[in-house]
């Protein structure tokens, strides 16, 4: 949004060519959203599925489908926004500054750090 002034996916298409370093961060955050290892979302989905199994099999099946379609949509969102031709209205280029990279690191790092401490949390539950 800061670079192009719009949240439209049609305008933000092709960001891999525009800002390749931010594409890596977008990929890392998308993978964490899809509950891939080593993110905290994986542990949350596994715990949720385990608790749902004891309650109702029908709910577990619907939750599994929802989890799958959520991951598929995140993958589609990543691919659609990063690949393709750049919108012709984009005339300026900026590689990003240290503040933006530090902000993304501070969003991504706790998702992967907390998974290491989660075994201690599960012990107390």
* Domains contained in the chain, number: 1
Domain residues for the domain of 90 are: 9-123
Looking up tokens 């608790």 gives: 51
Q: Does 38 map to a domain?
A: yes
Quote the pTM value: 0.75
Q: Does 1 map to a domain?
A: no
**pLDDT at position 44 over 50:** yes
Average pLDDT, the chain: 79
Provide the terminal-to-terminal Cα distance of the chain, rounded to the nearest Å: 41
Q: Does 3 map to a domain?
A: no
Q: Does 4 map to a domain?
A: no
**pLDDT at position 73 over 90:** yes
Q: How far apart are CA 67 and CA 35, in angstroms?
A: 9
Sign for the CA dihedral angle at 19, 25, 27, 29 comes to negative
Mean pLDDT for the stretch of residues 10-23? 78
Q: Does 109 map to a domain?
A: yes
Which pLDDT value is given to residue 87? Answer: 64
Q: Does 2 map to a domain?
A: no
Q: Does 45 map to a domain?
A: yes
Q: Does 46 map to a domain?
A: yes
Length of the chain: 125
């Amino acid at each position: 949004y800061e670079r192009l002034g719009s949240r439209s996916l049609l305008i933000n298409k092709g960001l891999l060519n525009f800002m390749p370093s931010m594409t890596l961060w977008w990929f890392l955050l998308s993978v964490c959203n899809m509950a891939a290892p080593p993110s905290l979302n994986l542990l949350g989905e596994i715990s949720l599925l385990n608790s749902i199994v004891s309650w109702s099999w029908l709910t577990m099946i619907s939750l599994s489908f929802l989890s799958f379609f959520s991951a598929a949509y995140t993958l589609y969102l990543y691919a659609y926004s990063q690949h393709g031709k750049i919108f012709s209205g984009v005339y300026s280029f900026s590689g990003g500054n240290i503040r933006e990279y530090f902000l993304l690191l501070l969003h991504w790092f706790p998702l992967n750090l907390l998974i290491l401490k989660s075994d201690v949390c599960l012990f107390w539950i």
